[in-house]
Amino acid sequence: MKQQRKRRMLTALAALVCCAALLAGCSNASAPADNGGELYSGGASMDMEQGATATDGTAESSGGVSGGAGTVAEVLPEDRKIILNASMDMETTDFTGTCTALREAAAEAGGYLEHAQQDTPSREGAARYASFTFRVPAESYSSFLSGAGEAGNVTNLSEDTDDVTAQYVDTEARIAALTAQRDQLLAMLGESGSLETMITIQDHLSEVQYQLESYERQKRLFDDQVSYSTVSISVHEVVYLTEPAETFGQKLGSSFTDGWRSFGNSAQNVLLTVVFMLPVLLMLAVLAAAVVLIVHLCRRRAERRRAKGAEREAAHSALPAQPKHDDAPAQPEQKPGEGPDEK
């Protein structure tokens, strides 16, 4: 009887595992079947692979962008799981005021600052730069872009949409199937009598619980990304704002103005460079003057020596000539007939 009961439990466990595998396969096959196998993603069709993966829809604009005007959030369908992301570049002459206005716009939209970085050069008068990453509720996405666009001169605005409806539905189906499988394993674990059967059921239960927690984390991540949009903003400090030119005359005038501004900036940079290098230039000038002075003194000393030598030679040549004296001793005269040996 015990062996027959053990065999029945193992048979039921195997049947349960097969049913769970069939449920998971059915959820994969049924998830992308919605809307005829295509899902909305910013006007792009979905690529059906491993339960359907979404492609990005992107909308970009640049040059004199009015923040929030015609954002993609205004044309998105309802009852879809769509992630909204935006990237904005702006320039400003009031760097501190613009950064403060961006933070205030995020607070008014019910969002928060996720990341901020500011670059302040050590050289006085150099342009500053800052980058911000805001998380705002999806329902306040358009209003935040509009408020942020008023904080400075927007030069570029890029918006991305990611439709994760297929992945979200598939994740929910997997969670439901794994939850049912977990409940059945728990019921079987309470009815099992042998130790071997309990160990087998517990092993399957641990695996099912691990997969269930993984899909639940993925679902929470989808919920967070769909509920809160991510907006990245870069702020550049400039002296003059960029003005869009439409006609040839406006472009010509803008080029002429930019040329004079560049000339003025170049002259300022040259002057600042000279002032910066002034201590080094002074030291080099002092060293050069010392070298020139030393060379001049050496030349004068050499000229004096040559002049003294010339004077000595002239004085020596002006003295009268003296007779020459024979240094050999005088020999005594010898008388005739006397030889040197005769005495």
Q: Provide the pLDDT for residue 95.
A: 93
pLDDT (0 to 100) of residue 101: 95
* Backbone torsions φ then ψ of 50, nearest 5 degrees: 60, 55
Please report the pLDDT score of residue 182 as a whole number.
93
Token pair in block for residue 319: 């003295």
Q: What share of the chain is helix, strand, coil (3-state, %, to 5)?
A: 55, 15, 25
pTM of the predicted model, to two decimals?
Answer: 0.55
Q: Give the pLDDT of residue 305.
A: 84
- Beta partners for residue 160, in sequence order: 58, 85
Q: Per-domain residue ranges for the chain? A: 2-237
Dist CA 66 CA 156 (whole Å):
10
Asked if 102 and 235 touch (Cβ cutoff 8 Å), the reply is yes
pLDDT at 135: 96
Q: Give yes or no for a contact between 169 and 80, defined as CB atoms under 8 angstroms apart.
A: no
State residue 265's pLDDT score: 73
pLDDT of residue 213: 95
* Rounded Cα distance, 154 and 64, in Å: 6
Q: At what angle do helices 2-30 and 195-227 cross, to 10 degrees?
A: 20
**Strand 82-92 versus strand 228-237 pairing type:** parallel
**10-residue stretch averages of pLDDT, the chain, 343 residues long:** 54 54 45 36 34 41 45 67 94 93 94 92 79 95 93 93 93 95 89 83 92 95 94 92 70 71 77 84 89 88 82 72 54 54 46
